[in-house]
Chain A
């Protein structure tokens, strides 16, 4: 049977350094999978490989039956994978609404001529984009919607920036969301909220989610499945308890001085 999302023998070399090494992975639709691992384990690099930001050295990634290795990032997004970044990367000069509207870009197609003539199709589509984006923002309650929508994203607090990044990813109508440390830099309350949010993303919006997370509580709360990575390879896999009690995982976290 074809998997919803699958990597086979995925590797990435940076010159001498192998950041991702013969990595095998698959997940089902509607699953929430967490990736854990010490700093420099290659988690973000893995995301960058999936989204096409880095060229793959060797191996295969399939999504919904498409081999996505070698596609440009925008093509991968069109296929239905969207992500957030570890260091939040919003378009700070654009408004919050516009940030969310960007996500709809790949699902719409009006162009220059439509914009100049303000054709009825264009206006309708523009309205749709706006509505869709607002809808995603409202998922986060009043934090991002309401009067705030027309403020530049640069006014947002750190936590809200992270939320907006998720909203932007949601707007792409993706099936698979890749969240890179969504709880990083948040306080305990916000962290719990993020864990809830991840659950809601799947339950209410039907996203499948692949999340990199350091906070073990979040990992425990949200994941159907946990993968532990170190030195670019998979060192453990299974439900939370299996992985958390795995010797190699404990060693990776405790026995290795970070960088």
Chain B
């Protein structure tokens, strides 16, 4: 007798997960708030920290999203593009600190760092595109993804070979700028600088994609590559430009990471942020530029609030250790709840 059951148990499990997650989150939040362990000031500073961190994620996420939009591939090595920028500009930062320039001109220093990092990351991204991805324009996604994974590990271990296994530490911008106190809340100035600068860069990108001719061609290619090519758009060039943009954003993210969290610049620093930024891009709706920004910011805030607000409320010890898991759990939840992300709509159905 054929099985004509319309509700498969996978659906039941998925619904179970959905309901369970919602209950757990509400329960955790309620518990924490009732316990009154944290004051409003705590929350505010957590949110600001989350925004700063989130803007870094957003910058990386944009790179994923841009490339995905155009090539329909997950550029898994993007985390390493970010790492490259952070790494190389570390050496510049170090030199500038030693020469005393940094103390005198912190803002100019940051600009210099940004330029170095952007150049480096762009270079790495372009090399990636040229060596690894160019031949894969029409390959199945899995093939492209495996190549990207290979590239990711290649880059990590090349950098390890070049610069060693030790972790590097950026000059401490945090103490240079100190803190602001507004009322009873204190906020680190570095956080504001990072968030604002990142936002600025993202706005420039947005303007570029929306208003310039190249940006419009990019959008055309991501809409339909073949038709765009028929319209006389040089698809190859657009792909290269996309990788360049992604590289620049990732380089900037690298510098911001160094400024905001000076410790732990090392060859493996790109792996987790890469994974998280991908989650952010999916959260926002992959291929969607404002989506990636929003996704990054949300993720930063979730990560910053999540452990204290939800996990502690659930009575989990050492909740902050699980911070890194939040992004991944969120990725899974997004894919269960709303696979097209917050802003994503442009996904077509199957053609049979």
Contacts and interface: CB of A to CB of B under 8 A. Distances in A.
Chains A and B share a contact (CB less than 8 Å): yes
B3 interface: yes
Contacts of B183: none
Contacts of B5: 75
A71 interface: yes
A44 B352 CA distance: 7
Interface in B1-52: 2-6, 8
A85 interface: yes
Interface SS, B side: loop
Contacts of B352: 44, 47-48, 53-54, 85-86
Which of B2, B5, B349, B352 has the most chain A CB within a 10 Å cutoff? B352
A98 B349 CA distance: 29
B339 to A, nearest CB: 15
Nearest to A45: B352
A30 interface: no
B4 A79 contact: yes
Contacts of B350: 48, 53-54
A47 B350 CA distance: 13
Given A78-B2, A78-B3, A79-B2, A14 B8 contact: no
A75 B8 CA distance: 11
Contacts of A68: 4
Interface in A74-106: 75, 78-79, 85-86
B349 A14 contact: yes
Interface hub of A14, A54, A68, A71 (most chain B Cβ within 10 A) = A71
A140 to B, nearest CB: 24
A85 B3 CA distance: 24
A43 to B, nearest CB: 11
B349 A75 contact: no
A47 B351 CA distance: 12
Contacts of A48: 350, 352
A66 interface: yes
A32 B65 CA distance: 49
Contacts of A71: 4, 6
Interface in A28-48: 44, 47-48
12 contacts: A14-B349, A48-B352, A53-B350, A53-B352, A54-B352, A66-B4, A70-B6, A75-B3, A75-B4, A75-B5, A79-B4, A86-B352
Interface of A: 14, 44, 47-48, 53-54, 66, 68, 70-72, 75, 78-79, 85-86
Given A75-B4, A78-B3, 14 more contacts: A14-B349, A44-B352, A47-B352, A48-B350, A48-B352, A54-B350, A54-B352, A75-B2, A75-B3, A75-B5, A78-B2, A79-B2, A85-B352, A86-B352
